[in-house]
């Protein structure tokens, strides 16, 4: 191995210095990276084109692939879970990618430094292989860096389109959210985010509806601007379909879930989407066009079926349409155990599933547990000529293209450059802004020209009630710290709506909190008004599928007890429209807050008039579940609140 003499001159000087912890870490990391760079291009006297950043990418990919064995190529196609990814496993199986599933963390309440150390240890295992191909680490970051303690938790997607109309769209907000999310993901040493979801939810009974921006594909298309925030702005001269990541402050994004996941029959998760070509290409496909034009690096396949064919086995759409017609040049990744679910029950015929999924065009398989079985199965299928080598080469070429594009070969190891970005004040202020703009005012006063909102800050005695008023976990929803979310206030750092109210009102105002007061208590205390915060409890995926869409108990009784005794505003915290018609007449003011995330202060900002309500519904609010599915433009459209509805208020000027 050739090593420049400069390295040996630098090393003693670096090691002799006495600095603080971060400085020592920074120097040792720079030394390690410098060492890697110096031997990278020339090894054992041989010039390696793939390690030379001055070479064209196509040359680097070709040179590297010519050196790779079948085992090394299949390793690149394999994504495994963090807790299995020891340095020895990475080296022995040439693993190309690692992920943290929901709740998979280096330690409870792990710091950014903890994450960086864990990711780098795994990466060192990958770099120690014969060819030194870096692994790419991925994580779900669907409303901020949601798996990580102290990260900024933004509103779920269902809230982010609420301030939009088809005439007035705030492209900048979601782009800024994408950029902030990228910085926080990078703060933990991770370069790949499984986001955004660009599903078009056509039935709120679906448990993933809050991951969708709207029932209208035009709004979802607009929201793909978040990709530019995550990855950076695609240069004007870039070729369509080629992945793009603009440096160390950005991450590779993932458009998901391809395709039609928001249109399943009955809103049942992972179910069958029955649709004609006009509906498919007019509703569910357009956001993928926009994503590819923006240079999205990866596309994740849906668990669902399309007209009876599992998407993970749908070669016509993955290869025939996405790759061949749309000219997508990034890599296609499966969902978690997605190829297992090609059969029913899952994993019933794993050999068939691997053959069907890889042959369909899936390039990287999120295995993520039984990786030796996957590797052995795919190896045998290739050696037996069931899967041609050309399919393996196509997959590996796409994976390497993304890795080279994002500079992973030149900067494989994370440093502490961005640790202060995690949960930064700037990002929390951005999330607070997003919350303000997400709120939709559905009712304001029982009598015309007698609005309740904005609320006075100087009222002597106010009541705050409801299960969701002082519960950060309920506020954030599913996909927060853990897959199904967490209840309570210890999950991460943030501000509950109750805390925000107390901070906002005048110091002389008495704020009384009772989660579910009875009517006598409300009447006897002579409150000036009540704020009731109720909604759904956290859920994710199929655990959120619902046929009744009701407010979680004791929410309905809280509404009746409070609003039957005092002027009240009801704030609904939910991942979708829920049944409200039985309560609307009793309520003075009604606000849809969706799943606002960690910055509950944004709710109080608008309730008390520091900012006005501006949000508009990007989803139809139904009267009864018997009407579902019902979307704007349907023949029998009779909603409680129509698509695009939203009352407005003006900010209050106070002395």
Q: Give the pLDDT confidence of 382-418 residue by residue, as tens digits.
A: 999 999 999 999 999 999 999 999 999 999 999 999 9
The pLDDT assigned to 22 comes to 44
473 and 520 within one domain: yes
List pLDDT tens digits, range 470-513. Answer: 999 999 999 999 999 999 999 999 999 999 999 999 999 999 99
Q: Which pLDDT band, with edges at 50, 70 and 90, does 171 fall under?
A: confident
| 335 has catalytic annotation | yes
Say how far residue 62 (Cα) sits from the centre of its chain.
Answer: 33
What is the average pLDDT value for the chain, to the nearest integer?
Answer: 94
The pLDDT assigned to 541 comes to 99
The pLDDT assigned to 448 comes to 85
pLDDT tops 80 at residue 531: yes
More confident residue, 12 or 596: 596
Q: Do 26 and 416 contact (CB within 8 A), yes or no?
A: yes
DSSP 644: T
Partners of 599 in the β-ladder: 495
68 and 32 within one domain: no
391 and 479 within one domain: no
296 and 310 within one domain: yes
32 and 62 within one domain: no
Q: From the candidates 541, 545, 588, 605, give the one annotated as an active-site residue.
A: 541
Separation between Cα atoms, residue 514 and residue 558, nearest integer Å: 10
Of 643, 645, 647, 646, residue with least CA distance to 216 = 643
504 and 404 within one domain: no
Q: From the candidates 246, 335, 340, 605, give the one annotated as an active-site residue.
A: 335
CATH code assigned at 347: 3.20.20.300
Separation between Cα atoms, residue 46 and residue 631, nearest integer Å: 63
The pLDDT assigned to 653 comes to 85
Residue 634 domain-assigned? no
Mean pLDDT of 329-351: 99
68 and 30 within one domain: no
Q: Do 531 and 607 contact (CB within 8 A), yes or no?
A: yes
Mean pLDDT of 525-545: 99
Percentage of the chain exceeding pLDDT 90: 91
The pLDDT assigned to 288 comes to 99
Q: Do 115 and 416 contact (CB within 8 A), yes or no?
A: no
Residue 324 domain-assigned? yes
How far from each other are the two terminal CA atoms of the chain, in whole angstroms? 74
Mean pLDDT of 221-243: 97
Separation between Cα atoms, residue 480 and residue 102, nearest integer Å: 8
Residue 283 domain-assigned? yes
Record the tokens describing residue 609, joined without a space. Answer: 């008039």
The pLDDT assigned to 44 comes to 67
List pLDDT tens digits, range 363-383. Answer: 999 999 999 999 999 999 999
Residue 201 domain-assigned? yes
Phi, psi of 321 (to 5 degrees): -100, -55
Mean pLDDT of 210-232: 98
467 and 408 within one domain: no
The pLDDT assigned to 10 comes to 31
The pLDDT assigned to 189 comes to 99
pLDDT tops 70 at residue 615: yes
Max Cα–Cα distance, the chain, nearest Å: 88
Give the three-state DSSP class for 82.
helix
pLDDT tops 80 at residue 209: yes
Separation between Cα atoms, residue 164 and residue 407, nearest integer Å: 36
Record the tokens describing residue 130, joined without a space. Answer: 């014969």
Residue 651 domain-assigned? no
The pLDDT assigned to 3 comes to 30
- Segments forming the whole domain that contains residue 173: 48-421
Q: Which pLDDT band, with edges at 50, 70 and 90, does 21 fall under?
A: very low
Q: Do 538 and 506 contact (CB within 8 A), yes or no?
A: no
The pLDDT assigned to 16 comes to 38
CA count, 13 A, side-chain hemisphere, 421: 20
Residue 559 domain-assigned? yes
350 and 245 within one domain: yes
Separation between Cα atoms, residue 202 and residue 419, nearest integer Å: 39
| 270 has catalytic annotation | no
The pLDDT assigned to 654 comes to 72
Phi, psi of 573 (to 5 degrees): -105, 105
110 and 34 within one domain: no
Residue 488 domain-assigned? yes
pLDDT tops 80 at residue 162: no
The pLDDT assigned to 394 comes to 99
Separation between Cα atoms, residue 177 and residue 151, nearest integer Å: 13
How many domains would you assign to the chain?
Answer: 3
CATH code assigned at 494: 3.40.50.1700
Record the tokens describing residue 168, joined without a space. Answer: 């007035």
List pLDDT tens digits, range 61-100. Answer: 999 999 999 999 999 999 999 999 999 999 999 999 999 9
376 and 471 within one domain: no
Separation between Cα atoms, residue 231 and residue 178, nearest integer Å: 8
Residue 429 domain-assigned? no
294 and 272 within one domain: yes
């Amino acid at each position: 191995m050739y090593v420049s003499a400069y390295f040996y001159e630098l090393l003693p000087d670096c090691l002799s210095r006495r600095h603080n912890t971060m400085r020592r870490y920074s120097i040792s990391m720079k030394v390690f990276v410098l060492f890697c760079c110096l031997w990278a291009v020339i090894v054992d006297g041989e010039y390696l084109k793939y390690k030379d950043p001055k070479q064209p990418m196509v040359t680097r990919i070709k040179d590297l692939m010519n050196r790779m064995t079948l085992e090394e190529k299949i390793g690149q196609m394999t994504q495994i879970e963090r807790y299995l990814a020891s340095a020895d496993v990475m080296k022995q199986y040439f693993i190309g990618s690692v992920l943290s599933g929901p709740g998979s963390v280096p330690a409870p309440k792990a710091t950014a430094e903890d994450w960086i150390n864990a990711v780098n240890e795994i990466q060192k295992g990958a770099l120690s292989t014969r060819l030194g191909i870096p692994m790419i680490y991925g994580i779900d970051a669907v409303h901020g860096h949601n798996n990580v303690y102290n990260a900024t938790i933004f509103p779920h997607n269902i809230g982010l389109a609420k301030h939009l109309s088809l005439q007035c769209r705030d492209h900048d907000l979601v782009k800024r959210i994408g950029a902030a999310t990228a910085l926080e993901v990078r703060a933990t040493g991770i370069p790949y985010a499984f986001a955004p979801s660009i599903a078009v939810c056509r039935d709120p009974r679906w448990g993933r509806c809050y991951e969708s921006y709207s029932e209208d594909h035009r709004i979802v298309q607009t929201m793909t601007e978040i990709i530019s925030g995550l990855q950076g702005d695609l240069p004007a001269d870039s070729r369509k379909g080629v992945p793009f990541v603009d440096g160390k402050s950005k991450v590779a994004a993932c458009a998901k879930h391809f395709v039609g996941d928001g249109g399943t029959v009955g809103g049942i998760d992972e179910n069958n989407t029955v649709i004609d070509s006009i509906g498919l290409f007019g509703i569910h496909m357009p956001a993928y066009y926009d994503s590819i034009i923006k240079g999205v690096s990866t596309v994740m396949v849906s668990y669902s079926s399309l007209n009876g064919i599992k998407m993970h086995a749908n070669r016509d759409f993955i290869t025939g349409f996405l790759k061949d017609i749309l000219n997508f040049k990034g890599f296609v990744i499966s969902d978690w155990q997605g190829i297992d679910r090609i059969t029913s029950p899952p994993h019933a015929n794993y050999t068939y599933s691997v053959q069907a999924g890889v042959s369909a065009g899936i390039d990287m398989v999120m295995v993520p547990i039984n990786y030796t079985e996957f590797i052995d199965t795919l190896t045998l299928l290739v050696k037996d000529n069931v899967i041609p080598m050309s399919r393996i080469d196509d997959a590996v070429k796409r994976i390497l293209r993304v890795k080279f594009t994002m500079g992973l070969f030149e900067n494989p190891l994370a440093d502490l450059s961005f640790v202060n970005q995690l949960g930064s004040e700037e990002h929390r202020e951005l999330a607070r802004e997003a919350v303000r703009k997400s709120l939709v005012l559905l009712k304001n006063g029982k009598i015309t020209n007698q609005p309740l909102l904005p609320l006075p800050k100087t009222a002597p005695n106010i009541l705050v009630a409801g299960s969701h008023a002082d519960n950060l976990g309920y506020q954030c929803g599913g996909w927060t710290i853990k897959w199904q979310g967490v209840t309570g206030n210890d999950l991460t750092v943030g501000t509950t709506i109750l805390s925000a109210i107390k901070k906002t009102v005048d110091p002389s105002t008495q704020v009384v909190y009772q989660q579910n007061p009875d009517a006598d208590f409300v009447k006897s205390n002579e409150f000036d008004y009540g704020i009731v915060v109720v909604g759904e409890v956290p859920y994710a995926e199929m655990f959120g599928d619902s046929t009744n869409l009701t407010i979680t108990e004791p929410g309905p009784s809280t509404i009746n007890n409070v609003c039957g005794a005092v002027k009240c505003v009801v704030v609904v915290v939910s991942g979708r429209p829920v049944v409200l018609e039985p309560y609307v007449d009793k309520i003075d003011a009604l606000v849809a807050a969706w799943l606002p995330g960690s910055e509950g202060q944004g709710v109080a900002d608008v309730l008390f008039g520091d900012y006005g309500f501006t949000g508009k519904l990007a989803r139809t609010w139904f009267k009864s579940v018997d009407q579902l599915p019902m979307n704007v433009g349907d023949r029998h459209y009779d909603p409680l609140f129509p698509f695009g509805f939203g009352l407005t208020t003006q900010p209050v000027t106070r002395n």
